[in-house]
């Protein structure tokens, strides 16, 4: 059996940077609070918890007067979170992914120009919530063309359309086309991050060669979910697993080539644990 590993998989630069900064911050000796998950990976969050980093869902959970550090996740937050942290005299360590920062800035600029901001993304995702915040309330989220069909758009309106950074470029392009068929004045910004595109392309190419695809990553990870969907669309049997405990050896029956990909928030140690469980010649 041959194990084929995608050319681009696992931690992207933004996640690696966020994890490194978080670990360094945890060593500073002050109370550290993480607003939500640093990245969507349970094992990464557990590593930080072991280093006494406390996860909070809301700043109100931090005791008043605490001279601590607030970690902003790689997904980013709305502007009011920074204002609230300052009010509470919390030091802010911002690990927002640079690609997300760029999308936030564009959302703000489009809104300031008086355009309706359309965000192609997963409703409720932390990154999308941050983009909504930076639009100042002038944005709406659409996940698919069915959502878009329900949106009231005027042919004479002015629209700016951006993407959650972990969407597929193909999906974003379809959504842009659908908006342009209904509105004359549309400005588009493909804010899908480069790492996402590379991982998706590599995973699809690999799925077309393999008899079985294993996509490694957390169930909450939007980019891992997208990789799984894209691999499955090639027709190759595809399974998403978070850890080696979810691996079923029966999947290997009759398989000659097994492809491995991993989401951008999946740490290398999880990938290696799964590889160690596979009888293989690694290519």
Cα–Cα dist 216/261, whole Å = 6
Residue 91 and residue 103 in one domain: no
Which of 167, 192, 217 marks a domain boundary?
192
Residue 165 and residue 209 in one domain: no
Whether the CB-CB separation of 48 and 69 falls below 8 Å is answered with: no
The residues assigned a catalytic role are 127
Residue 145, CA distances (Å) to 51, 149, 276 in order: 43, 6, 42
Residue 54 and residue 44 in one domain: yes
Of residues 1 and 241, which shows the higher confidence score? 241
Stated as kind and residue range, the H or E segment containing 134 is helix 126-134
Cα–Cα dist 36/33, whole Å = 9
Residue 37 and residue 78 in one domain: yes
Q: What is the pLDDT of residue 1?
A: 86
Task: For the chain, give the percent of residues with pLDDT over 90.
Answer: 94
Residue 239 has pLDDT above 60, yes or no: yes
Residue 273 and residue 211 in one domain: yes
Task: For the chain, give the percent of residues with pLDDT over 70.
Answer: 99
Mean per-residue pLDDT for 41-47? 93
Mean per-residue pLDDT for 71-85? 96
Report which of 50, 42, 1 is spatially closest to residue 26, judged by C-alpha positions: 50
Residue 88 and residue 123 in one domain: no
- Kindly report, residue by residue over 90-135, the tens digit of the pLDDT: 999 999 999 999 999 999 999 999 999 999 999 999 999 999 999 9
Number of neighbours of residue 8 by Cβ within 10 angstroms:
19
Alpha helix ranges (H) inside the chain: 13-26, 42-50, 79-87, 98-112, 126-134, 145-150, 169-180, 194-207, 222-233, 268-276
Which of 97, 123, 150 marks a domain boundary?
97
Residue 103 and residue 61 in one domain: no
Residue 282 has pLDDT above 80, yes or no: no
Q: Is the pTM of this model over 0.85?
A: yes
Residue 68 and residue 139 in one domain: no
- Kindly report, residue by residue over 22-35, the tens digit of the pLDDT: 999 998 888 999 99
Of residues 110 and 137, which shows the higher confidence score? 110
Q: How many domains does the chain have?
A: 3
- Kindly report, residue by residue over 177-229, the tens digit of the pLDDT: 999 999 999 999 999 999 999 999 999 999 999 999 999 999 999 899 999 99
Residue 118 and residue 157 in one domain: yes
Residue 283 has pLDDT above 80, yes or no: no
What confidence category does residue 280 fall into, taking pLDDT thresholds of 50, 70 and 90?
low
Q: What is the pLDDT of residue 166?
A: 92
- Tell me the CATH number at 23: 3.40.50.11270
- Tell me the CATH number at 207: 3.40.1010.20
Q: What is the pLDDT of residue 176?
A: 98
Residue 252: both structure tokens together: 């290997």
Domain extent, residue 173, equals 99-192
Residue 86: both structure tokens together: 């300052």
Residue 188 and residue 199 in one domain: no
The pLDDT mean for the chain works out to 94
Which of 147, 170, 192 marks a domain boundary?
192
What confidence category does residue 281 fall into, taking pLDDT thresholds of 50, 70 and 90?
low
User: Cα dihedral sign for 256, 237, 270, 203?
Assistant: positive
Residue 86 and residue 106 in one domain: no
Q: How many residues in total does the chain contain?
A: 283
What confidence category does residue 240 fall into, taking pLDDT thresholds of 50, 70 and 90?
very high
Number of neighbours of residue 93 by Cβ within 10 angstroms:
17
Residue 259 and residue 247 in one domain: yes
């Amino acid at each position: 059996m041959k194990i084929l590993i995608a050319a681009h998989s696992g931690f992207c630069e933004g996640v690696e940077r966020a994890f490194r900064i978080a670990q360094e911050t945890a060593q500073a000796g002050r109370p550290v609070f993480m607003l939500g998950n640093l990245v969507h990976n349970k094992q990464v969050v557990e590593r930080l918890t072991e280093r006494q980093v406390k996860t909070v869902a809301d700043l109100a959970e931090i005791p008043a007067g605490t001279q601590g550090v607030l970690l902003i996740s790689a997904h980013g937050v709305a502007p009011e979170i920074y204002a609230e942290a300052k009010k509470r005299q919390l030091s802010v360590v911002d690990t927002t992914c640079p690609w997300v920062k760029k999308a936030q800035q564009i959302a703000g600029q489009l809104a300031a120009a008086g355009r309706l901001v359309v965000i192609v993304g997963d409703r409720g995702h932390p990154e999308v919530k941050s983009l909504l915040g930076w639009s100042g309330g002038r944005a709406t989220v659409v996940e698919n063309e069915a959502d878009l069909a329900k949106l009231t758009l005027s042919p004479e309106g002015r629209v700016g359309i951006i993407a959650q950074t972990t969407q597929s470029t193909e999906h974003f392009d379809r959504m842009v086309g659908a908006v342009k068929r209904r509105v004359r004045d549309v400005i588009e910004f493909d804010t899908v991050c480069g790492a996402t595109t590379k991982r998706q392309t590599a995973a699809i190419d690999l799925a077309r060669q393999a008899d079985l695809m294993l996509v490694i990553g957390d169930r909450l990870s939007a980019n891992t979910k997208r990789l799984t969907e894209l691999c499955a669309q090639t027709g190759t049997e595809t399974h998403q697993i978070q850890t080696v405990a979810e691996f079923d050896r029966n999947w290997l029956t009759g398989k000659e080539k097994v492809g491995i990909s991993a989401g951008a928030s999946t740490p290398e140690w999880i990938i290696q644990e799964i590889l160690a469980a596979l009888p293989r010649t690694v290519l």
